[in-house]
């Protein structure tokens, strides 16, 4: 296969299909949409790009993205790395949008190649009026093949916008404009079939591949009048780290603080804001359960890094034997995300 692809004179684009809404339709009227369209069938939607291009496409799985997991994503990563070795100009992954922001960040932390890796999906099934899958796949393919996309890591292309994996969030359940990058904005746009970047590529740090994958990271959400039962059992259940999706700028109730104090002596505790935008604080609030109090108790503030991505970061670091370096990486990703 490697020899065959490397002898091509046409630019090569590789597409890996994982399923999700972009692959879904109802098998009969009134039935809900399910994954059934293979990657090969998706090619019909990007026929306008075929001329002067060799498209290599594989169906890696057909599942809703809620059923993806870290081990499967590591297999997808290896597949994408193999495509680069075959000489492709760009790689596109299609998947469901439910976990797209997390998948993108997971792969971005491990993607060391200059070749663009672009993720896309759809908000409407293929048999629904106004289906957006073909347009998103066409846009993602253009971005993956554009020379300006090199050295930018993993990108998410949805609804005519290009987002960095670090910043992108799904902020709407059903709308076509479901993805945004709060505060930072999109990295680029697709206008009249042209790829236009709004800022230069920044320096990136890539993590080693995890040596172990059996460790667990808990994610607990702070809510009004929340009990402490789950928090009390985090250590006994064998979790290797805890992420707290905290109120506001990184706050929890007074009932949680002593337990967090105990947990930090055994495993890393990361505190992120549950708000979906802006950063945790470091030196603003001194009350019990405020961010200054939690820092004194050994917790680590996540800055701009959201709880879901903080969980991925610490999972990958622990898997690579670098769990003690999480503070350094939080400083880089959470507070210095735009430097480079």
Residue ranges at the known binding site for substrate = 65, 97-98
Q: Which of 9, 21, 264, 280 is catalytic?
A: 21
**Known catalytic residue: 21?**
yes
Closest C-alpha among 297, 303, 300 to residue 317: 300
Q: Please give the torsion angle defined by the CA atoms of residues 163, 130, 128 and 95, in that order, rounded to the nearest 10 degrees.
A: -10
Structure tokens at 169: 């969030």
The DSSP-derived string for 127-139 is TSTT--HHHHHHH
Residues that constitute the known binding site: 65, 97-98
The burial of 242, by beta-carbon neighbours within 10 Å (0-12 exposed, 13-18 middle, 19 or more buried), is given as buried
Instruction: Please give the Cα distance from 197 to 220 (Å, whole number).
Output: 37
C-alpha pair distances (Å), 282 with each of 293, 302, 309, 327, 335 = 10, 10, 19, 13, 11
Query: Among residues 213, 218, 259, 265, which one has the least CA distance to residue 241?
Result: 218
Write the DSSP string, 141-181: HHHHH-GGGTTS-EEEEETTEEEETTT-EE--SS-TT-EE-
Residues acting as catalytic residues = 21
């Amino acid at each position: 296969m490697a020899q065959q692809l490397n002898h091509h004179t046409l630019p090569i684009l590789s597409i890996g299909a994982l399923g999700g809404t972009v692959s879904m339709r109802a098998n009969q009227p009134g039935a809900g949409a399910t994954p059934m369209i293979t990657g090969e069938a998706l090619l019909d939607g990007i026929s306008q790009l075929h001329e002067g291009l060799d498209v290599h496409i594989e169906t890696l799985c057909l599942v809703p993205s809620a059923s993806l997991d870290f081990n499967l994503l590591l297999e997808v990563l290896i597949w994408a790395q193999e495509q680069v070795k075959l000489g492709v100009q760009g790689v596109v992954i299609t998947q469901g949008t439910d976990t797209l922001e997390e998948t993108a960040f997971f792969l971005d932390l491990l993607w060391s190649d200059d070749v663009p890796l672009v993720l896309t999906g759809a908000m409407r099934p293929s048999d629904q009026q106004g289906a957006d899958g073909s347009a998103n796949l066409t846009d993602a393919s253009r971005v993956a093949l554009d020379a300006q996309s090199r050295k930018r890591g993993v990108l998410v292309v949805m609804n005519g916008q290009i987002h960095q994996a670090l910043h992108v969030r799904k902020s709407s359940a059903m709308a076509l404009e479901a993805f945004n990058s709060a505060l930072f904005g999109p990295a680029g746009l697709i206008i009249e079939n042209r790829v236009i970047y709004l800022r230069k590529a920044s320096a990136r740090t890539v993590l080693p591949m995890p040596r172990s994958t059996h460790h667990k990271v808990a994610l607990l959400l702070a809510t009004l009048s929340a009990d402490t039962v789950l928090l009390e059992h985090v250590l006994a259940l064998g979790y290797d780290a805890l992420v707290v999706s905290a109120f506001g700028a990184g706050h929890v109730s007074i009932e949680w603080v002593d337990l967090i104090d105990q947990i930090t002596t055994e495993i890393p505790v990361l505190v992120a804001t549950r708000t979906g935008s802006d950063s945790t604080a470091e030196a603003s609030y001194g009350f019990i359960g405020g961010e200054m109090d939690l820092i004194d108790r050994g917790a680590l503030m996540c800055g701009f890094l959201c709880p879901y991505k903080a969980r991925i970061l610490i999972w990958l670091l622990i898997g690579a034997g670098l769990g003690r370096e999480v503070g350094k990486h939080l400083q880089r990703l959470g507070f210095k995300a735009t430097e480079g």
